[in-house]
Amino acid sequence: MDAELEGIARDAVDSAYLIYRELGPGLLETVYEVLLARELERRGHRVRRQVPVPIVFQELRFDEGFRADLIVDERLLIELKSVEEFAPVHGKQVLTYLRLLNFRLGLLINFGAALFKKGVKRVAN
């Protein structure tokens, strides 16, 4: 990974930790999404929320195959959860999203985890 992308990811994890430390687990994903986007913008990043991502399969195009929770600086995908623990499908989902976007790195952040460090997963494409 390049240094710029690693810096964006570091800011994202630091921002998420700040929010987790202040508010703790248990809020809706949308609350964490808004707060994380605002904190990353405060740190100078460009953040888009709920970004529709098209899927093209053979000759079919679905304009809204899924919605990316957060896209930071057009380089980093962040998928947010607020559940007790990750399910195996969550990481696979992020990898699929990365492939569709042609991104190299994504973060899966679970604000529902008992410990913050157990709620952060890096997914590389």
Q: Is the pTM of this model over 0.85?
A: yes
Closest CA to 9 of 123, 125, 87: 123
Q: Give strand pairing partners of 56.
A: 61
Q: 76-103, pLDDT tens digit by residue? A: 999 999 998 888 888 998 999 999 999 9
Number of domains in the chain: 1
Full residue range of the structural domain in which residue 64 is found: 3-124
Q: Which CATH number does the domain housing residue 20 bear?
A: 3.40.1350
Say whether 78 sits in a helix, a strand or coil.
Answer: strand
**Integer CA distances (angstroms), 90 to 58, 59, 82, 123, in order:** 25, 28, 12, 10
Nearest CA among 122, 94, 86, 110 for reference residue 20: 110
pLDDT tens digits, 102-120: 999 999 999 999 899 999 9
Q: What angle do CA 55, 76, 51 make, to 5 degrees?
A: 45
